[in-house]
Amino acid sequence: MSHNPLAALPEVAIFQVTSNDIAEGLPLPPRHYSGMSGVEGGKDLSPHLKWSGAPEGTRSFAVTAYDPDAPTGSGLWHWAVINIPASVTELPAGAGSDPSSGLPQGALQLPNDLRLARFIGAAPPAGDGPHRYYFVVHALDVDHIGVDPNATPALLGFTMLSHTLGRAVLVATGEVK
């Protein structure tokens, strides 16, 4: 496994994220794998996420899911949601399905690395070893982050640099043998 992809980012306040579906350091349940992964039960279902303790001044949230261990040279972005109102502190399981019916009003899913504006589940190559899946809630100091609806998650990350007040991180694992 590679380094911590968040280590190079500026330090910000830490807050908490939990899930009814996934747990820190534990394998993802099959429903959170991609239907293309070969894992029985893979449904591309985004996990439930609930957060608390966001820093004062938070005006919106963004949620991202990233696999730094994907054998691409740049990892793989599975999900990016922007413009989640500051009053929202939870996304239900399946919120990342297409169309975005489970997202709060005003929130928007950006295209992931497969260029789909939805959550795509884990799909590590068979025999590639364990992968880490970083589910991150970003507390932002703006109501709307101001990226184009077709922007990449990498561009979102760059744009968020000067607007991030805090991060809540939950890392699950996945492997196909």
pLDDT confidence of residue 100: 62
User: Tens of pLDDT along 99-121?
Assistant: 667 899 999 999 999 999 999 99
DSSP state letters, 135-175: EEEEEESSSS----TT--HHHHHHHHTTTEEEEEEEEEEE-
User: Tens of pLDDT along 147-172?
Assistant: 999 999 999 999 999 999 999 999 99
Beta carbons of 78 and 28 less than 8 angstroms apart: no
* Sheet strands side by side (includes 90-91): 16-18, 49-52, 90-91
Bridge partners (DSSP) of residue 170 are: 135
Report residue 159: phi and psi, to 5°: -65, -35
Geometric angle at alpha carbon 7, from 46 and 111, rounded to 5°: 35
Q: Is pLDDT above 80 for 64? A: yes
* Average pLDDT for the chain: 95
User: Tens of pLDDT along 52-63?
Assistant: 999 999 999 999
Nearest to 84 by CA among 20, 142, 21, 126: 142
Q: Which domains are seen in the chain, by residue range?
A: 18-174 (3.90.280.10)
pLDDT confidence of residue 38: 85
Alpha-carbon distances, residue 39 vs 82, 114, 137, 176 (angstroms): 29, 19, 27, 7
Q: Is pLDDT above 80 for 67? A: yes
